[in-house]
Amino acid sequence: MKICMIGTGYVGLVVGACFAEMGHQVICVDNNPAKIASLQNGQVPIYEPGLEQLVERNVEAGRLSFSLDLIESVGHSQFIFIAVGTPPAEDGSADLTYVMNAVRQIGASLNHYAVIITKSTVPIGSSEMIRGVIRAELERRGMSDLTFDIVSNPEFLREGAAVGDFLHPNRIVVGTDNERALQYMKELYLPLTSLGYPLIQMDIASAELAKYASNAMLATRISFMNEMAGICESVGADIERVRQGMELDHRIGSYFLSAGVGYGGSCFPKDVRAIIQSASERNVPTHILEAVDKVNHQQKKKLYEMVRSHFGDNISQLRVAVWGLSFKPETDDIREAPSIETIELLRQRGVVIQAHDPVALQNAYQALGEQNMVYYSDPYQALMDADALLLFTEWKQYRAADLKRVKSLLKQPVVFDGRNLFDPERMKEAGFVYQSIGRT
Ligand code: UDX
C-alpha cells in the first residue's frame, strides 16, 4: 500500500519507517530542506534506538523515501498521514498551524480517493475541522465529487522505545465514521493484527480523546506518587516501600508509579494542558488535571529547593555538577525536561553548571548556550571541584557509578538525587550528604 507521511519528526519518521518495515511503500515529506537532505543521505536527525538501522534497511529495499514535494507525494498515495508538530500555544492549547498548512495543501492537490489520517495529537474535534477544510478546498477547485475519508489513528509511542512500541503495540486505535475507511485501515495494519495485536475501532472523537486520556492518566499516576513522596518525607516513610506495597495489587499495577523530579517531554505536559484548555472552552471542569499539572510544576523545582535549603540563600559562588539533561533515559530530547528548568533557576543566581549527558549535550548546548555552563562528555570530569551533584535522569551508567570516585572528585560530598538511584543508607555510610525523593 502506498503511504505519504507528512512530517518527519519523532512520530512521522518512526511511523513511516515502521510502515515500510511492514512491507508498505512509504514516502516521508517535510518542508525542512536540511532535514530531507540529511535523510536522503542516510542521516537520521534524531536519536531513537533502532531507527537508523530501520531507515537504512528500508531505503535500501526501496520501500522508504524522502521528499520535499508534498503535492507530488500526496498524488501517489492511498493513505495520507498527518504527523506534523502540534506545539503548545501560549494559552496551553495545541497550536494547529502546521497541521492546517498540511491539510490545505492536501486539499489543494488531492485528485483521487484517499484516507487522510491524523497521527499528530490534535484537540478533540480537529479531525472534523480537517474534513471541512479539505471539502472547502475541493469545492474551490470544482472537485466536490471527489470522495475521501478522515481517520483518527493516535500514536502511543514512548521516546526511546518508539520503534518497538509501534511494531509491538498494546493496541491500535482507529477512529472512523464509515466502514470503507475502517476496511482500509484494517488492511494497512494487517501485518500487525495478524500477529495478534488488537485493533480497536471507535468513533473519531473517542479516538482523539483516547490518546489524551491515556497520557493524562499516566501523568496523574506520576503526580499522585510525587504527592505521596512529599507526605513520605514529612512522616519519615519511604516512597519506594510504599510503591512496593501498592504495585502487587493487580488493580493498581506497577507502571508509572516512580516518584521523581516530575514528568517532562513533548507529550505529558503539553497534553495535560491541552485537555484542560479544550475542556475549559466547553465549560467542563478539570479539577484533577489542573492538580496534576500544578503538582508537576512544583516537583520540577524539587532539586533547586534542595540546593537552596542545604546551601542557604547565598548560592552565587557554587559550582554544581548535573548528571542527566534529557527528560528521561535513552533519548536526547530535552523538551520540558526538569533539568533545564532547574539549571535556569540556578544560573540566574550565579551558579556555574558542569553538565553531563550521554546523548543530549548538543541539544542542551543549543537551548542553554554558554553562560555559566560547562559541558562534559565524561561524567566524572563534570564532578571536578563541584559543590554538589544533581541527578535528573536515570541513565544506566549513573546507576552503576563508582561512588568512591564520585566522592573523591566532588569538592563537597553532596548528592541530590531526583530519581532515587541509590540506597540512602549506603550513601550515608559512604560519607555523602544524600537527599532523594520521598525518602529520609
Ligand atoms: C509518553 C507516553 O508514554 C506515550 O504513550 C505517548 O504517546 C507520548 O508520551 P514519552 O513522552 O516518550 O511517552 O515518555 P514516557 O516514557 O511516558 O515518560 C514521560 C515522563 O514521565 C518522563 O519525564 C519520565 O521521567 C516520567 N515518569 C515516568 C516518572 O516520573 N515516573 C514514572 O513512574 C514514569
State residue 142's pLDDT score: 96
| Residuewise pLDDT in 10s, the chain (440 residues) | 999 999 999 999 999 999 999 999 999 999 999 999 999 998 999 888 999 999 999 999 999 999 999 999 999 899 999 999 988 888 878 899 999 999 999 999 999 999 999 998 888 899 999 999 999 999 999 999 999 999 999 999 998 899 999 999 999 999 999 999 999 999 999 999 999 999 999 999 999 999 999 999 999 999 999 999 999 999 999 999 999 999 999 999 999 999 999 999 999 999 999 999 999 999 999 999 999 999 999 999 999 999 999 999 899 999 999 999 999 998 899 999 999 999 999 999 999 999 999 999 999 999 999 999 999 999 999 999 999 999 999 999 999 999 999 999 999 999 999 999 999 999 999 999 999 999 98
State residue 99's pLDDT score: 95
2-202 topology per CATH:
Rossmann fold (3.40.50)
**Ligand 1 midpoint to CA 263 (Å):** 7
Strand partners, 175: 152, 202
Q: What is the pTM of this model?
A: 0.94
State residue 216's pLDDT score: 98
Q: 267 catalytic, yes or no?
A: yes
State residue 121's pLDDT score: 87
**Ligand 1 midpoint to CA 158 (Å):** 7
Please indicate whether residue 292, judged by its CB atom, sits closer than 6 Å to ligand 1. Answer: no
Distance, CA of 402 to chain centre: 30
Please indicate whether residue 260, judged by its CB atom, sits closer than 6 Å to ligand 1. Answer: yes
State residue 247's pLDDT score: 97
Same fold for the domain at 2-202 and the one at 301-435? yes
Atom of ligand 1 nearest to the CA of 257: 33
CATH 3.40.50.12780 fits 301-435, yes or no: no
The residue nearest atom 20 of ligand 1, judged by CA position, is 263
**Ligand 1 midpoint to CA 328 (Å):** 8
CATH 1.10.760.10 fits 212-298, yes or no: no
The residue nearest atom 3 of ligand 1, judged by CA position, is 158
Residue to mutate, 222, 240, 244, ligand 1, most ligand atoms under 8 Å from C-beta: 222
**Ligand 1 midpoint to CA 271 (Å):** 12
Please indicate whether residue 166, judged by its CB atom, sits closer than 6 Å to ligand 1. Answer: no
Please indicate whether residue 66, judged by its CB atom, sits closer than 6 Å to ligand 1. Answer: no
State residue 47's pLDDT score: 84
Residue to mutate, 158, 271, 398, ligand 1, most ligand atoms under 8 Å from C-beta: 158
Residue to mutate, 267, 270, 296, ligand 1, most ligand atoms under 8 Å from C-beta: 267
Rg (CA), the chain: 24
Instruction: Provide the residue ranges of all domains of the chain, joining segments of one domain with +.
Output: 2-202, 212-298, 301-435
